[in-house]
Amino acid sequence: MTYLLDTHIIMWTLFNRNNLSSKAVKVFSDMKNQFYYSIASVWEIAIKHRKHPRQITRSGVEFLHYCEAMGFNKLEINDRHICALETLEQKENSPDHDDPFDRILLAQAKGEGMMLMTHDKKFLTYDEPYVFTV
């Protein structure tokens, strides 16, 4: 299976493995699985580090290097992802999910036919089969 990792899953994998559920650990332990990080996650970390350096202590560049060192594959943003962004369906009467980083990650997963591995329950408001909550 191919997984696109949500930003917080990457952070936990790199710096706080105790936050990972046993379900996530099992997925990471399966050598047949492939893992990707999005350049959008690097962008997100760079912005959050700049705004809140005491809470997000790693810069975007450091985050990028950690992802590469872990052997995660990089996923750039392309036109297919932008097109998929416009097709994301939320379940009826769901609250708006206006986090642009979350939305592009889900669109990338959809555009690539990957599973977005996340712990964020906001993704459960989508009527999309590309969300894998751990």
Give yes or no for a contact between 34 and 73, defined as CB atoms under 8 angstroms apart.
Answer: yes
Q: Report the percent of the chain where pLDDT is more than 90.
A: 93
- Confidence (pLDDT) at 127: 93
pTM for this structure? 0.94
**Exposure b/e, 43-70, CB count within 10 A at least 16 = b:** bbbbebbeeeeeebebebeebbebbeee
- Confidence (pLDDT) at 41: 98
Mean pLDDT of the chain: 95
Average pLDDT of the segment spanning 4-26 = 95
Average pLDDT of the segment spanning 25-34 = 97
Query: CA-to-CA distance for 134 and 25, rounded, in angstroms?
Result: 9
- Confidence (pLDDT) at 61: 96
Average pLDDT of the segment spanning 114-128 = 95
**pLDDT at residue 9 tops 90:** yes
Residue-wise pLDDT tens digits, 78-115: 999 999 999 999 999 988 888 999 999 999 999 999 99
